[in-house]
Amino acid sequence: MNQQQLQQAEHPAASPAPSGKDCPSACRIPKKLAMINDIAGYGRCSATESIPIISALRVQVCPVPTSLFSNHTGFPVHFMHDCTPYLKDYLAVWKELGFHFDGIYCGFLGSAAQIGIVKEFLADWPDVPFILDPVMGDHGKAYRTVTQEHCAKMKSLLSRAAIITPNITEACLLTGTPYRESGWSTDALCLLSRQLHAMGPDKVVITGLREGEDYINFISERSEGLSTRINRTHSAGRSWHGTGDIFASIIAADAVNGMPFSQSVEEAAAFVRACISASTRLGIPEQDGVCFENFLGPLAQGAFLPQKRTESETERRIP
């Protein structure tokens, strides 16, 4: 998305609201996505981002809260209520009522026990696509709650995933690869992707890579051989809390809507960049998260979808 398109997205021209008969998307029943994630009351992240973003992409969100936070953990203090004791009963009612889902998206899991409960839940919907954001760490370090048992169980959860969206830290934790902040060659990323594919998922995007002033998303799809693509986005500023949740939410919604994976990654990257750019200009505190609300309308209208392939989005196939 260029600067002119970004400005149009921030300040869309007024137009009459479409009627149901004039809007093709109004003529279909929205897909249903079970969303397993925590809820933070203050500071944009997790479910408070995922629900409106996925809804804007015309997918019904069915939340499964793993933890309740007064605010995210980037603030000096927070209150947290662990929902583990209630998860099994919560999900058992869904099974008893025979609910149907078109996809299952999982974000933050606070303990190894929660991972086990999610695996049991997935067993009841064996044919439903599972999109996993394996939230475990960032900037080369695992989060405080991530133990060796947690990491081992997360690896086992990958066996059920169709799509995973690890950042480079999480990709290294899952594969036992030494972390480095920069200097990742395409061959090294291909090897990392192969190791992740071997655990189960057919589609992988590794995020959080930096190359100069650019952010890199390394996209890998397994079909006949390995198809890889690099999505390059010019940095709009520093890293912001909650942008990984935004990225994964778009990937999850697009997946159940049948969008090609590489296009979904490009859309998610463009949306995150626009949110960061606007939030920086507006002087929003980093702890508050990015002002994604300003861009939900353009997102729903497809404003962040890729218009054409660029030289920086190169593809190669590997046997």
With CA atoms as reference, report the closest residue to 102 among 259, 255, 261: 255
Q: Is residue 253 part of a domain?
A: yes
The pTM (predicted TM-score) of the whole model is: 0.90
Q: Is residue 312 part of a domain?
A: no
How sure is the predictor about 211, in pLDDT bands with cuts at 50, 70 and 90? Answer: confident
Residue 179 belongs to what domain range?
29-291
Instruction: Label the pairing between strands 59-69 and 31-40.
Output: parallel
Virtual CA dihedral for 208, 210, 213, 214, nearest 10 degrees? -60
The dihedral of CA 92, 93, 98, 104: what is its sign? negative
> Which DSSP helix (H) or strand (E) runs through 14?
none
In the predicted structure, residue 286 carries a pLDDT above the cut 80: yes
> Helices H, strands E: what count in the chain?
10, 12
Q: Mind listing the pLDDT tens digit for each residue in 217-264?
A: 999 999 877 899 999 988 887 778 899 999 999 999 999 999 999 999
Cα–Cα distance between 178 and 140 in angstroms, integer? 9
Cα–Cα distance between 261 and 244 in angstroms, integer? 17
pLDDT at 3: 56
CATH number at residue 228: 3.40.1190.20
Q: Any idea which of 18-27, 31-40, 198-207 has the lowest mean pLDDT?
A: 18-27
Q: Is residue 17 part of a domain?
A: no
Q: Is residue 278 part of a domain?
A: yes
Q: What is the mean pLDDT of the chain?
A: 90
In the predicted structure, residue 8 carries a pLDDT above the cut 90: no
Coil, helix or strand for 139? Answer: coil
Q: Is residue 252 part of a domain?
A: yes
The residue with greater pLDDT, 27 or 91, is: 91
Q: How many domains does the chain have?
A: 1
Percent of the chain whose pLDDT exceeds 70: 88
In the predicted structure, residue 19 carries a pLDDT above the cut 80: no
Q: Is residue 316 part of a domain?
A: no
Q: Is residue 194 part of a domain?
A: yes
Q: Is residue 22 part of a domain?
A: no
